[in-house]
C-alpha cells in the first residue's frame, strides 16, 4: 500500500487502464521479419520504431474489453473457460501486404494484411460466437473480423503494397492483459491448438 494519502485521507485512485484480449502471436522468425519491415518503413512515416516491439506483435482474435484499475476475476475465469473449450488443428497465418487503417490524425495503424486461411477464419468465428454467448463483450460492438498485425502507428496514410509473405503456423493462442499507454503485456493464459 502506498504511503501517499490524498487530502481527504483516502488512498489516491489508480488511473491504470487494462486491455484484455485473445490473440495469436507470431513465431520468432515471423516476428523478426515483421520487425525488419517495421524498422524499414518507420523512417518513411517519421517514426522511430523500437526493436522491443517484436515481443508485442499479435493478431487480435477477440477484444474482451478495457478495464479501469483491474480486470474482474469473473471475467478472467469465464474467458478461461471459453478458451479451454476451443478445439482446432494448427493453421497457417499469412500476410502478403502492408498498408494502414484509419485512425486518429498522425496516429494511423500501419498493419500487415493478407488473405486469411479458412482455419483462421473458422477458429475466430467459433471463438467470437462462444465469447458472445458467455456475455464477454463488455457492451462493445464487435465488427467483422479482419486479420491483421499492427507494426506501429504512422503519421500519414500508407497505400497498401505487396510484401514478401510473412507466415507462421499458429499452434496456440493466448490471453493478454496489456497496460494501456505503458507498452506492458501480461500473459494470462495460453492454450494449444489441437484436434479433439
Domain ranges of the chain: 17-192
pLDDT tens-digit profile of 25-84? 999 999 999 999 999 999 999 888 887 777 899 999 999 999 998 999 999 999 999 999
> Looking at residue 107, what is its pLDDT?
84
The single residue listed with the C-alpha cell 485521507 is 9
Return the CATH fold of 17-192.
Answer: Cyclic Phosphodiesterase; Chain: A, (3.90.1140)
Residue 125 CB partners (closer than 8 Å, separation 6+): 145
pLDDT tens-digit profile of 122-178? 999 999 999 999 988 765 555 689 999 999 999 999 999 999 999 999 999 999 999
d(CA 165, CA 96): 4
Q: Can you tell me the mean pLDDT for 1-5?
A: 41
E strand segments, 142-194: 149-154, 161-170, 172-179, 184-192
pTM: 0.87
Q: Can you tell me the mean pLDDT for 90-104?
A: 93
Amino acid at each position: 500500500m502506498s504511503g501517499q494519502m490524498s487530502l481527504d485521507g483516502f488512498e489516491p485512485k489508480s488511473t491504470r487502464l487494462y486491455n484484455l484480449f485473445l490473440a495469436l502471436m507470431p513465431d520468432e522468425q515471423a516476428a523478426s521479419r515483421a520487425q525488419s519491415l517495421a524498422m524499414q518503413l518507420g523512417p518513411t512515416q517519421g517514426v522511430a520504431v523500437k526493436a522491443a516491439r517484436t515481443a508485442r506483435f499479435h493478431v487480435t482474435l477477440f477484444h474482451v474489453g478495457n478495464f479501469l484499475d483491474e480486470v474482474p476475476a469473473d471475467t478472467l475465469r469465464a474467458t478461461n473457460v471459453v478458451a479451454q473449450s476451443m478445439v482446432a488443428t494448427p493453421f497457417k497465418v499469412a500476410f502478403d501486404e502492408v498498408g494502414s487503417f484509419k485512425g486518429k490524425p498522425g496516429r494511423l495503424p500501419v498493419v500487415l494484411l493478407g488473405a486469411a486461411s479458412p482455419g483462421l477464419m473458422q477458429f475466430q468465428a467459433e471463438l467470437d460466437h462462444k465469447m458472445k454467448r458467455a456475455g464477454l463483450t463488455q457492451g462493445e460492438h464487435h465488427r467483422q473480423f479482419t486479420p491483421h498485425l499492427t507494426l506501429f502507428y504512422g503519421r500519414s496514410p500508407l497505400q497498401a503494397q505487396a510484401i514478401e509473405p510473412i507466415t507462421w503456423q499458429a499452434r496456440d493462442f493466448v490471453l493478454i492483459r496489456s497496460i494501456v499507454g505503458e507498452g506492458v503485456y501480461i500473459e494470462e493464459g495460453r492454450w494449444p491448438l489441437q484436434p479433439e
